Structure 1
Amino acid sequence: MSRTTERQALVIGASRGLGLTLAEELTRRDWQVVATTRQSGGDLQEKADASNGRLRVESLEMTSDEQLAALRERLDGTKLDLLFVNAAIDRGNLPITEVSTETFAEVMITNALRPLRTLEALRDLVVPGGTVAVMSSRQGSISLNTRPGFEAYKASKAALNQLMRSYSTRYAEDGHTKLLIHPGHNQTPLGGSGAPLTAAESMPAVVDVLEAQAGAPGLQFLDLYGEIVPW
Structure 2
Amino acid sequence: MPSDAPATALVIGASGGIGAALAAALEARGSAVTRLSRSADGFDVTDPASVETHLGGLGGSFELILVAVGLLAPKGQGPEKSLDAIEAGTMARVMAVNAIGPALILRHVPRLLAAGGRCGVLSARVGSIGDNGIGGWHSYRASKAALNQIVHGAAIELRRHDKGAVLAALHPGTVETAFTAPYAGRHSMVTAKEAAQNLLRVMGRLGPAQSGGFFDWRGEEVPW
1:9 is matched with 9
CA contact (8 A) 1:111 1:160 kept: yes
| 1:86 is the counterpart of 2:68 | yes
Counterpart of 2:25 in structure 1: which amino acid?
A: E
1:46 is matched with none
2:27 is matched with 27
1:74 is matched with 57
Mind listing any 5+ residue stretches in structure 1 that lack a counterpart?
Answer: 41-57
CA contact (8 A) 2:6 2:63 kept: no
Q: Trace 1:51-130 onto structure 2 (pairs within 5 A).
A: 58-76=41-59, 78-91=60-73, 92-94=78-80, 95-130=82-117
Whole-Å Cα distance in 1 between the matches of residues 199 and 171 of structure 2?
9
Counterpart of 1:158 in structure 2: which amino acid?
A: A
Question: When the two structures are superposed, what TM-score results if normalisation uses the length of structure 1?
Answer: 0.84
Whole-Å Cα distance in 2 between the matches of residues 179 and 151 of structure 1?
23
CA contact (8 A) 1:131 1:215 kept: no
% identity of equivalent residues: 31
Deviation at 1:59, TM superposition (A): 4.5
Deviation at 1:204, TM superposition (A): 0.5
For the aligned residue pairs, the C-alpha RMSD in angstroms reads 2.1
Is 64-73 or 151-160 further displaced after alignment? Answer: 64-73
| 1:186 is the counterpart of 2:179 | no
Mind listing any 5+ residue stretches in structure 2 that lack a counterpart?
Answer: none
Mark the CA change 1:101 to 1:83 in structure 2 (over 3 Å): closer, same or farther: same
Runs of 4 or more off by more than 4 Å in structure 1?
214-217
Whole-Å Cα distance in 2 between the matches of residues 112 and 5 of structure 1?
28
Instruction: Give the match's secondary structure for 2:9.
Output: strand
Deviation at 1:7, TM superposition (A): 1.4
Deviation at 1:216, TM superposition (A): 4.8
For this pair of structures, how many residues does the alignment match? 213
Q: Which has the higher contact order (CA 8 A, sep 6+)?
A: 2
